Structures are given as structure tokens and as C-alpha cells.
Amino acid sequence: MKALIFLTILLLSQVIAPLEVENPEDEKVLYPFENYDREVRFNRLLEDYRCPKCQSSSLSGSNAPIAKDLKLEIYRLVKAGKEDSEITEFLTQRYGDFILYKPPFQSSTYVLWIGPFVFLVLSMLLVLMFKRNQQKEGADRNLEELKKRLEFDRLNK
């Protein structure tokens, strides 16, 4: 029994040991900040910008060389005390609005921003029209039946 327990522990340690090596604790030192607010801002910014190479992931989620360079550049800018707007300007002047996950409100993006509301209003109008039609049909049918019954009553007097 003792031997079995020992063996189990030994086996488990083999499984767990490699996991411990991959502990992401080291990753934090890559971009050290003295100021906690700036660190939070930095991490949020990395989520706000898109990697230009692997276009479906944010900078923070990308390991492409260009994403690493941009992370480092943003790190420098945040450390230098730059505002979010200044960092956004720096990036869009080089990589265009594409780098923003939240596109700006401008003539080329009106459809994107207003489109959903237009569709909402349109579909509501459609539903209303449909409803009113149904009601009208229903009302007509009721009237018809009423007339028939009146006729029936009259004949049965």
C-alpha cells in the first residue's frame, strides 16, 4: 500500500512539475511599472489595439514580432507619461484606424455605427405593419361573422 501511494505521488509529481515551470510569474517583469495606475492603463491599452499582422487578435494576445515591437513602444510611451489619446494618435498615424478595435465615428464608418439602429427601426416598422394588417384582417372577419349571425337571427325569428 505504501509503495502504491509512493508511486502515485511520484507519477503525479512528474505531471505537475512541468506545469510549474510554465508558471507565468516571469511574464510580469517584461514590462515593469512603478506606478500601478500606469500598469493597469498599459494592460488595458494592449486590449484596445489590434495586431496588424494577425488581424483577429489584440496586441496583448499576439506574439507576432510586430505586436512585440508595438507593445514595447506603448510601454515606453506609457512610462513617459503620454495620454491615451497621444498613444492612439501615434499608432493611427502609422498603422491607420485599422489598429483600433473601436473604430472612430466618421463618414467611412457611419454604416457601421448607425446601421444597427436603422435596422432596428426598420424591423420594428415591419412588425408594426404586419401586426396592423393582421388586426385589420381579424376585425374584418369579426364583422363578417357578426353580419352572418344577425342575418341568421333575423331569418329564425
Partner 1 sequence: MKKFIHIAPLVIFTFLVLALFSFLKRDNNQLNSVLIDKNFPEFNLTKLENKNVVLTKGDISNFPAIVNVWATWCITCRIEHPFLLELKQESKINIYGLNYKDNRQKALDLLERDGNPFEFSVYDEEGSLAMDLGVYGAPETFLINSDGIIKARHVGALTPEVWDKKFVIHLR
Residues that bind partner 1 (CB under 8 A): 52-53, 55, 64-66, 69-70, 73, 92-96, 98, 126, 129-130, 133
Considering beta carbons, is residue 39 or 73 the nearer one to partner 1? 73
Hey, how many other C-beta atoms are within 10 angstroms of the C-beta on 42? Answer: 20
Question: CB 41 → partner 1: shortest distance, Å?
Answer: 21
Considering beta carbons, is residue 18 or 65 the nearer one to partner 1? 65
Question: CB 61 → partner 1: shortest distance, Å?
Answer: 16
- In whole angstroms, give the CA distance from residue 142 to residue 57: 59
Question: CB 136 → partner 1: shortest distance, Å?
Answer: 10
Spell out the residues 6+ positions from residue 113 whose beta carbon is closer than 8 angstroms to its own. 103, 105
Q: What single DSSP character describes residue 11?
A: H
Considering beta carbons, is residue 52 or 75 the nearer one to partner 1? 52
- In whole angstroms, give the CA distance from residue 15 to residue 59: 32
